[in-house]
């Protein structure tokens, strides 16, 4: 009996390509019937983002130099990809980007309850589908409670920042491994694949990994 394939994914819940890439990978894993274990790790796209956040379209235009037309085209492309993967992007003109340091602390806490993956999926949906304010600790605690975690404990974790150093250490570790953009997927602890690769490419990668002797 072979060990399950270890897959480390470095990502941020503000990153649309992270959920697209994950959904593509998940389809490839299911189709190939690959035994696997996924480990999520923190990355902040915008660590300097203020608590009030920023309008998403304004942020994209400011950060990447996109025109409003390019921004809209990109949204439509990602929404179509999301639909094909069973994930709903529901941007509006009022959509906002948020600082995610606290979301990563909450995910770290959820890992101790073996619920990091479930919370990660719930946070992606909360942000992109439901347009909830992930800068608000009460909203984060609500999301945790909605998947069966202890809402009061979640809020306490965020209020006292008990996992702040752990998150910073994890972020620093992955940066030291050369990760500067997400999604970054590491197979077997050594094979790095960046960006959303598409179902076919992930299927090919899984096939190559299965044929390796290590």
Structure tokens at 142: 């609500």
- Evaluate whether 10 touches 179 at the Cβ level (below 8 Å): yes
In which region does residue 114 sit, left (phi positive, over 0), alpha (psi from -120 to 50) or beta (all else)?
left
From the list 178, 40, 46, 160, the residue with the least C-alpha distance to 101 is 46
Q: What is the pLDDT of residue 51?
A: 85
Q: Is the pLDDT of residue 18 over 60?
A: yes
Tell me the C-alpha distance between 198 and 178, whole Å: 23
Give 154's contacts (C-beta < 8 A, 6+ positions apart). Answer: 106, 109, 140, 141, 144, 145
Reply yes or no on whether the pLDDT at 211 is more than 70: yes
pLDDT given for residue 2 in this prediction? 74
| Measured distance CA(33)–CA(36) in Å, rounded | 9
Mean pLDDT, residues 85-89 taken together: 98
DSSP β-ladder status, 96-97 and 184-187: unpaired
Whether a cis peptide bond, with omega within 30° of 0, leads into 183 is yes
Q: How do beta strands 191-194 and 184-187 pair?
A: antiparallel
The mean per-residue pLDDT over the stretch 182-186 comes to 97
User: Given strand 184-187, what is the order of strands in its sheet?
Assistant: 36-42, 5-11, 184-187, 191-194
Token pair 């942020």 is found at 59
Two tokens at 173? 């570790």
The average pLDDT across 28-44 equals 96
What is the mean pLDDT of the segment spanning 63-86? 94
Spatial separation of the C-alpha atoms in residues 136 and 133, rounded to whole Å: 6
The position carrying tokens 């639909």 is 83
Identify the structural domains of the chain with CATH numbers, from first to last.
Answer: 5-50+98-211 (3.40.30.10)
- Residue-wise DSSP of 88-148: -----TT-EE---HHHHHHHHHHHTTT-HHHHHHHHHIIIIIT---TT-HHHHHHHHHHTT
pLDDT tens digits for range 133-165: 999 999 999 999 999 999 999 999 999 999 999
CA distances 105 to 82, 95, 137, 157, 184, Å, are 27, 23, 11, 8, 19
pLDDT given for residue 1 in this prediction: 53
Q: What is the pLDDT of residue 214?
A: 62
């Amino acid at each position: 009996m072979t060990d399950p394939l270890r897959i480390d994914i470095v990502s941020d819940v503000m990153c649309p390509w992270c959920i697209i890439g994950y959904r593509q990978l998940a389809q490839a894993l299911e189709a190939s019937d690959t035994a696997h274990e996924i480990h999520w790790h923190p990355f902040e796209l915008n660590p300097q983002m203020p608590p009030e956040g920023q309008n998403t379209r304004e942020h994209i235009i400011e950060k990447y130099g996109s025109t409003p037309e390019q921004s809209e085209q990109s949204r439509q492309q990602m929404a179509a990809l999301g639909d094909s993967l069973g994930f709903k992007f529901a941007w509006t003109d009022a959509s906002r980007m948020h600082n995610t340091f606290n979301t990563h602390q909450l995910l770290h806490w959820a890992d101790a309850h073996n619920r990091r993956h479930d919370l990660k999926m719930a946070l992606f949906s909360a942000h992109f589908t439901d347009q909830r304010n992930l800068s608000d600790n009460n909203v984060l605690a609500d999301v945790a409670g909605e998947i069966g975690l202890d809402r009061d404990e979640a809020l306490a974790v965020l209020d006292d920042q008990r996992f702040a150093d752990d998150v910073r250490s994890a972020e620093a570790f992955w940066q030291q491994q050369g990760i500067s953009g997400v999604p970054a997927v590491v197979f077997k602890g050594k094979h790095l694949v960046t960006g959303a690769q598409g179902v076919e490419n992930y299927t090919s990668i899984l096939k190559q990994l299965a044929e390796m002797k290590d």
